[in-house]
Amino acid sequence: MARLALLSVSDKTGLVELATRLVNDFGFEIVSSGGTAKAIAAAGLPVTKVSDYTGSPEILGGRVKTLHPRIHGGILGRPGLPSDQADMEANDVRAFDLVVVNLYPFEQTIAQPDVTLPDAIEQIDIGGPTLLRAAAKNHAYVTVLCSPSQYDPYLAELGDNQGTLSPTFRMACARQAFWHTAGYDQAIAQYLTAQDSTDTAADLPERWTLSATQRQSLRYGENPHQPAIWYQVGTTPTGWAGANLLQGKPLSYNNLVDLEAARRIIAEFPAAVPAAAVLKHTNPCGVAIAATLATAYENAFNADNVSAFGGIVALNQPIDKATATALTKTFLECIVAPGCDPEATAILAKKSNLRVLILEDLHSGPTHLPRAIAGGLLVQAADDVPDDPATWQVVTERKPDTAQLEELLFAWRVVKHVKSNAIVVTRDRTTLGIGAGQMNRVGSVNIALDQAGDGSQGGILASDGFFPFDDSVRTAAAAGITAIVQPGGSKRDADSIQAANELGIVMAFTGVRHFLH
């Protein structure tokens, strides 16, 4: 008796080619449903509809078609077990040798901007995951394929082994099927959880799962002895997976980590005003906004041109000719921008090893940030609270003028993206000194002020955390700082406020802390 295959796929890629080889080269009989059966029949291949095979019509608009004992008995039956064999013979159930199923495009559907909840619900596959799980469970007897990428390896395995399959191959297919259904269920659960905007638990639900598919093997991780893989979340490439690598070598693990940090900081600045950020090891070494993109980049680069060497550059506007010319004057690892003019593309192409990425949407990022710890995960909401000076409290006698308030906001947006303890000194919407990752805030203050040098005169200082003592306020004032922005909230806030008043500088409390560990 011919071997039996069940084919029921949403994605018809490679379907006819697979069915043709199964029938003509390996003598399979095919049972199929819905559009899959129509596509196979249209190719002139023999196919039996599921409804004819089971004797039960599709009902509920196609919601129920493969959920039938003759289908699932043929998938789950163990021909080597006498009791199963007896049941199958008594109920006229034939064993399936192959099950090919891929699922309704749920993730592609919810990726559409105008999708409604009913639309999404209709793309939740019921029969498909059931078929996949049944076949994967019984992989000792059944081969299960859940992706068109598996068709050629399957056919090659059959051809190389006189129509048989090794247990190892079937096991590998079963694993892939279970990963596939796990990711599918996770996408549904996350989507439905996100629909409940009134429930605070919806932001951080009781159960947290991660599911992603391998996108690219990386040369190594942070160091050469650490293997690394780039995984993509969802079936539709978004974020860096959807970015266009305009030129340059493949991205490394460290490139991607740095690029994400660059994306986050440049997303702070609306595209209406040109902004540039230069980063090294996820910390900004220069950030600026200016009248033109080229000026913004040059100011950001000159803020710390030593650290900028071999850095990552993020721009919030498409790269133009002048900016491209400036970018090619030094060695950089990566540049990311929402676009690139043709003239700029030609200029950058002269630096063939320079990685240039086009990421049209610089603002969309993860809403929750997981971090692995021994025995579990920590998950927190992204630090995307809006920064609004109207909500700040100016706690000193001296009040900021409009220009100072704008400079304070610029500095506050930057310090948010510097590793704690973080201090940023700015003037004229350009960073002059950045103190990052020190074990005490005084050390960060000194680093930032030393780097700024004489530029501190008339400058602004931002701190991601409060000052527990007034020493940093006095050090800043001695260097020429005229205004400070910090969260406030220390038991000794009064000491810092008193020092600021004595020294005639402005101090604003934001009421928000921006630690970045």
Q: What whole-number distance in Å separates Cα of residue 166 and Cα of residue 54? A: 30
394 in the same domain as 339:
no
Q: Are residues 171 and 275 in the same domain?
A: no
Per the structure, the count of domains in the chain is 3
DSSP 8-state code for residue 416: T
Residue 203's pLDDT is: 66
The phi, psi pair for 69, rounded to 5°, reads: -55, -35
pLDDT recorded at residue 105: 76
Residue numbers of the domain that contains 265: 240-358
Considering the domain architecture, whether residues 29 and 156 belong to the same structural domain is answered as yes
Alpha-carbon gap, residue 390 to 375, rounded angstroms: 43
* 386-439 confidence digits (pLDDT tens): 899 999 999 999 999 999 999 999 999 999 999 999 999 999 999 999 999 898
Residues 349, 274 share a domain: yes
- Residue 129 sits at φ, ψ, to 5 deg, of -60, -35
**Nearest-angstrom CA–CA distance, 157 and 339:** 45
What integer pLDDT is reported at residue 154 of this predicted model? 94
Which tokens is 71 given? Answer: 């289908």
Kindly state whether residue 74 falls inside one of the protein's structural domains.
yes
Catalytic hit among 38, 249, 281, 321: 281
Please report, as a single letter, which amino acid is at residue 90: A
Can you spell out the DSSP letters for 294-346?
HHHHHHHHHHTHHHHTTEEEEESS-B-HHHHHHHTTS-EEEEEES-B-HHHHH
Specify if 363 maps to a domain: no
137, 8: one domain:
yes
The 3-state secondary structure of 357-371 reads EECCCCCCCCCEEEE
Give pLDDT < 70 ranges for the chain.
Answer: 1, 59, 61-66, 197-203
What's the rounded Cα separation, in Å, for the pair 55 and 49?
10
* Residues 6 or more apart in contact with residue 266 via CB below 8 angstroms: 275, 276, 277, 314, 315, 316, 336, 362
Query: Residue 500 has what pLDDT?
Result: 96
60 and 160 housed in the same domain: yes
**137 classed as catalytic:** yes
- We report the CATH number of the domain holding residue 297 as 3.40.140.20
pTM, two decimals, is: 0.81
pLDDT score, position 369: 85
- pLDDT by residue (tens digit) across 480-515? 999 999 999 999 999 999 999 999 999 999 999 999
> 33-45, pLDDT tens digit by residue?
888 999 999 999 9
**pLDDT for position 68:** 82
Among residues 316, 308, 307, which one has the least CA distance to residue 289? Answer: 316
170, 194, 218 - which closes a domain: 194
Structural tokens at position 515: 């630690």
Residue 339, in any domain of the structure: yes
User: Which pLDDT belongs to residue 65?
Assistant: 67
| 247 and 131 housed in the same domain | no
Instruction: Note the pLDDT of residue 2.
Output: 82
Structure tokens at 499: 């020092």
Q: Taking the chain, what is the end-to-end CA distance rounded to the nearest angstrom?
A: 65
Distance CA 20, CA 26 (A): 9
Asked which of 338, 358, 378 is the last residue of a domain, the reply is: 358
Residue pair 349/315 in contact by the 8 Å Cβ criterion = no
Q: What is the CATH number of the domain that holds 17?
A: 3.40.50.1380
Assigned domain for 217 exists = no
Residue 17 belongs to some domain of the structure? yes
Q: DSSP secondary-structure letter at 251?
A: P
- Residue 214 belongs to some domain of the structure: no
In this structure, the answer to whether residues 190 and 246 fall within a common structural domain is: no
Residues 349, 431: one domain?
Answer: no
Among residues 343, 358, 373, the one where a domain terminates is 358
Residue 45 lies in a domain: yes
Instruction: Judge if 393 and 447 occupy the same domain.
Output: yes
In 10 A of CB 374, how many CB atoms?
4
- How many Cβ atoms sit within 10 Å of the Cβ of residue 312? 28
Residues 35 and 154 in one domain: yes
CA distance 55 to 123: 26
228 within domain boundaries: no
Return the pLDDT at 201.
45
Q: Choose the catalytic residue: 12, 38, 68, 137.
A: 137
CA angle 353, 307, 332 (to 5 degrees): 10
> Amino acid letter at 124?
I
Query: Rg (Cα) of the chain, in Å, rounded?
Result: 30
**232 closest CA partner among 213, 210, 207, 205:** 213
Q: Are residues 187 and 68 in the same domain?
A: yes
Residues 20, 32: Cα–Cα separation, whole Å: 14
Cis bond upstream, residue 24 (ω within 30): no
